[in-house]
Amino acid sequence: MYIKRIELQDFRNYAKLEASFSEKVNIFIGNNAQGKTNLLEGIYMNAMARSFKTSKDKELIRFGREFCRVRITSFYDDDDHVTEIVINKDGRKGVKLDGVRINRTSELLDRIFIIVFSPEDMKIVKDEPEKRRRFIDRELCQVKPGYFSDLSNYKKVLKQRNTYLRESVIEPSILDIWDRELARYGAHIIVRRRQFIERIDKISREIHGRISGGRENLGLRYETSFDIPEEDGEKKGSYLSHVEQAFYDMLVKRRKEDMENRSTGRGPHRDDLKISADDIDLRKFGSQGQQRTAALSLKLSEIRLIEEEMGEKPILLLDDVLSELDNDRQTYLINSLGGNQLFITTADISGKVAKNLPEGKIFKIKAGEVDIEI
């Protein structure tokens, strides 16, 4: 799979853009605030129909305009496919796939796989738990389309429960309805996340060992905000029901505390990912070099998992990430990505790294205008 062409209209700082891409490497070069990342955002819309930088679609519309349009031609399943997304100033969004309107974003999933690697990802180890949960959720939404639905439903029920907790009079029977719904969707999220981390843990150990020259052993563990039973070889359905019951029991036990705080204090929205090296918690005690190496191992593991799970090489968007890595890590990253279509943004690229890149295209970007060098 690869992206062949993009057309933008009034998207971010682009009034109009049409560009065709190399199947291998595409490098966007330019100073800061010229539109390099904006172009990556447009490409990412092909997979998720949303930006990886903002949750507010209206921010994608060029200043003073009424709407923006993104049209992308991709090759997968032995044919060309066109995704078109229009976002209006009032927040309405229309999505078409091969000319047919789709009503749910989930219908775009499981077609084309795109992974973003940005400077923010280099901070995933030391930043707040929300960033690590987002890393897990973003990957699972691509490889397990059913997860997107469970996550959306969980967030909806969580919001409704929190709203009800702020009422002046709370009926236990009504709160119980929200508790059971929250436990049902939450159990699916917890089980999927734990299975995902178990897979990623094995892959990242191998990758991290190579990057660190065998000096460190990386370990990942999913940390829940309440006690849940261990899987212990149970059948999937049986284990899921046990987690759901544990979640529900915890919510019932904490009702008084949640009512006092007017918020749901525990659940997958409070869980975290523990990242350690030789049993040292890198979130708290890791050096900057250790944290960046662990972050690189996680992202490369994400790529490998998609290849193993889906049998496809994902498209990679490297957003100014080379500047965050030393020459050795840059070279390791580039050498690890053979066969993937790459989109790289950078102010400049070192001769050593450029020498390791496959043939492709270079795009010079300035103030929303693009010049192409072959």
Q: pLDDT at position 346, please? A: 85
CA dihedral 273, 274, 277, 282 (to 10 degrees): 100
Q: pLDDT at position 355, please? A: 65
Q: pLDDT at position 3, please? A: 94
Q: pLDDT at position 354, please? A: 64
Q: What is the pLDDT along the chain (374 residues), one digit of tens a residue?
A: 899 999 999 999 999 999 999 998 898 988 888 889 999 999 998 877 888 888 888 889 999 899 999 999 999 888 999 999 999 988 889 999 999 998 877 777 778 888 888 888 878 898 999 999 999 998 898 888 789 999 999 999 999 999 999 999 999 999 999 999 999 999 999 999 999 999 999 999 998 888 888 888 999 999 999 998 877 665 656 899 999 999 999 999 999 999 999 999 999 999 999 999 998 999 899 888 888 888 888 988 988 898 888 888 899 998 888 777 777 777 777 777 777 899 989 887 665 566 666 678 889 898 888 876 65
Contact 1, 75 (CB under 8 A): yes
Q: pLDDT at position 54, please? A: 85
Both tokens assigned to 61? 């519309």
Please provide the CATH number assigned to the domain covering 1-113+313-374. Answer: 3.40.50.300
3-state secondary structure the chain: CEEEEEEEEEECCEEEEEEECCCCEEEEECCCCCCHHHHHHHHHHHHHCCCCCCCCHHHHECCCCCEEEEEEEEEECCEEEEEEEEEECCCCEEEEECCEEECCHHHHCCCCCEEEECHHHHHCCCCCHHHHHHHHHHHHHHHCHHHHHHHHHHHHHHHHHHHHHCCCCCCHHHHHHHHHHHHHHHHHHHHHHHHHHHHHHHHHHHHHHHHCCCCCCEEEEEECCCCCCCCCCCCHHHHHHHHHHHHHHHHHHCHHHHHHHCCCCCCHHHCEEEEEECCEEHHHHCCHHHHHHHHHHHHHHHHHHHHHHHCCCCEEEEECCHHHCCHHHHHHHHHCCCCCCEEEEECCCCHHHHHHCCCEEEEEEECCEEEEEC
56, with CB counted inside 10 A (0-12, 13-18, 19+), is exposed
Neighbouring-strand partners of residue 80: 75
| Residue range(s) in the chain whose domain bears CATH number 3.40.50.300 | 1-113+313-374
| Residue range(s) in the chain whose domain bears CATH number 1.20.1050.90 | 126-311
Q: pLDDT at position 72, please? A: 94
CATH assignment of 126-311, given 3.40.50.300, 2.60.40.10, 1.20.1050.90, 3.40.50.620?
1.20.1050.90
CB atoms within 10 A of CB 218: 24
Q: pLDDT at position 121, please? A: 82
pTM: 0.81
C-alpha angle 324/358/325, rounded to 5°? 10
Q: pLDDT at position 366, please? A: 87
CA atoms within 13 A on the CB side of 166: 6
